[in-house]
Amino acid sequence: MDSSVFIGPEALPALAELLHRPAVSRVFVLTDSNTARLCLPLLEKHLPTNYQLIEIPAGEEYKTLASCEAVWSQLTEQRADRFAVLVNLGGGVVTDLGGFVAALYKRGIRFAQVPTTLLAQVDASVGGKTGVDFQGFKNHLGVFQAPAAVFVDPQFLQTLDVRQLKSGYAEVLKHWLIADGAAFNQHRRLGWLTDDWTPIIRESVALKQRIVVQDPLESGLRKLLNFGHTVGHAIESYLLTQPGREALHGEAVAAGLVCESWLSVQRGLLSPEELDKIETFVFSVFDKLSFVLLETAAIADFALQDKKNVGATINCTLLQGIGNGVFDQAVTLTEIAESLRYYHRL
């Protein structure tokens, strides 16, 4: 499942080398409406001149089977064969959806991930998870399928606004919280903004790959990477049902990091002082998400569909100290709702 990840200025030339191999019949580039405009011009010189562009609308609300069908239709109309390569140029929606499309088209064609957001560069494009949302549940349909390789060029981050950068930073924070307490403490002092994201991307990708290589299909250890996501996905899914209140993935995950750290304290796994450090760091980057107390039960209900659950048991990843995640910690719906109430009071 582990694929090569090229990071830095050598990434796009490495992609060009792959795409110009004789074993590649055709090159299709999947973008959304933003990356077609902002990122494709940076990629274009590395593509074969006869590449075909396929574009989907930008936004989480288009991470659907209907969008997949539109892409499959275009591949079919363009007579893409099994030696075609799909290059997914975009954030988490494009890389997840494009990987899923490629995995199923003619039982699987190769795909290359070219993540353009911090979130996709440090997390979504790495590790072979692909998929789409379904009936309001995040990444409900999907398969594990390794890309041919991942090509990370930090210059794409210049196309992002601060809100998008922060969204990706939530996944960086998550990586430190589950596996690198020293980095968490170091960056807590330095602050989140930087002129050069490359070292942070390299460390984050390496940390994720160390986990994924041991458990590519998420039967155990990889569940660590879901820290913050049981509650985070529930918040994100709930807010998607509330027009005008949608949160970015990382914004919801940041709230999930706080809620699940609080649950860790309730279990005696994390100290209140550590929770305080986590909250201080999280709120130095992210604004608090707003919901009313009456909504906490409805938000918590979304956790019943979490992919880590076994039957009715909600399995959460918690922290046994900063830098040390523990997976398969059963929590109740009531506890999830309580954690949301705690967050609301902050």
Size of the site for ligand GLY (CB under 6 A): 5
- Applying CB under 6 A, among 56, 58, 97, 225 the residue interacting with ligand GLY is 225
Among the candidate windows 37-45, 122-130, 155-163, 232-240, which touches ligand GLY by CB under 6 A? 122-130
Q: Which CB atom, from 127 or from 154, has the smaller least distance to ligand GLY?
A: 127
Q: Is 246 part of the annotated catalytic residue set?
A: no
Q: Is 208 part of the annotated catalytic residue set?
A: yes
Among the candidate windows 47-55, 57-65, 121-129, 199-207, which touches ligand GLY by CB under 6 A? 121-129
Which residue type occupies 247? A
Q: Is 236 part of the annotated catalytic residue set?
A: no
Catalytic residue among 55, 218, 260, 338: 218
| Smallest separation, CB 237 to ligand GLY (Å) | 16
Q: Is 222 part of the annotated catalytic residue set?
A: yes
Q: Is 344 part of the annotated catalytic residue set?
A: no
Among the candidate windows 64-72, 74-82, 123-131, 294-302, which touches ligand GLY by CB under 6 A? 123-131
Catalytic residue among 138, 222, 223, 308: 222
Categorise residue 82: left if φ over 0, alpha if ψ from -120 to 50, beta otherwise.
Answer: alpha
| Smallest separation, CB 297 to ligand GLY (Å) | 27
Q: Which CB atom, from 90 or from 127, has the smaller least distance to ligand GLY?
A: 127
Cα separation, 212 vs 123, in Å, equals: 11
- 3-class DSSP state of 30: strand
Q: 37: Cβ–Cβ under 8 A, 6 or more apart, which residues?
A: none
Q: Nearest-CA neighbor of 305 among 223, 242, 229?
A: 229
Tokens of 100: 């899923």
Catalytic residue among 88, 249, 260, 274: 249
Q: Is 188 part of the annotated catalytic residue set?
A: no
Catalytic residue among 63, 187, 223, 233: 233
Cα separation, 69 vs 54, in Å, equals: 12
Q: Is 233 part of the annotated catalytic residue set?
A: yes
Q: Which CB atom, from 174 or from 187, has the smaller least distance to ligand GLY?
A: 174
Q: Nearest-CA neighbor of 261 among 236, 233, 280, 246?
A: 280
Q: Is 226 part of the annotated catalytic residue set?
A: yes
- Applying CB under 6 A, among 46, 222, 249, 308 the residue interacting with ligand GLY is 222
C-beta nearest to ligand GLY: residue: 225
- 3-class DSSP state of 213: helix
| 129 is a contact residue toward ligand GLY (CB under 6 A) | yes
CA 29, 11, 91, 1: dihedral to nearest 10 degrees? 90
| 180 is a contact residue toward ligand GLY (CB under 6 A) | no
Q: Which CB atom, from 187 or from 208, has the smaller least distance to ligand GLY?
A: 208
CA 9, 11, 15, 17: dihedral to nearest 10 degrees? 60
Give me the long-range contacts of 106-109 (CB less than 8 A, separation at least 24): 106/80, 106/81, 106/82, 107/82, 108/82, 108/145, 109/80, 109/82, 109/83, 109/84, 109/85
| 123 is a contact residue toward ligand GLY (CB under 6 A) | yes
- φ/ψ of 96, rounded to 5, equals -65, -50
Q: What is the DSSP string of 72-112?
A: HHHHHHTT--TT-EEEEEESHHHHHHHHHHHHHGGG--EEE
| 179 is a contact residue toward ligand GLY (CB under 6 A) | no
Catalytic residue among 34, 55, 88, 171: 171
Q: Which CB atom, from 187 or from 222, has the smaller least distance to ligand GLY?
A: 222
| 63 is a contact residue toward ligand GLY (CB under 6 A) | no
Cα separation, 165 vs 158, in Å, equals: 10
Tokens of 109: 């064609």
| Smallest separation, CB 208 to ligand GLY (Å) | 7
Contacts with ligand GLY by CB under 6 A lie at 123, 127, 129, 222, 225
Active-site residues, by number, are 107, 129, 171, 208, 218, 222, 226, 229, 233, 249
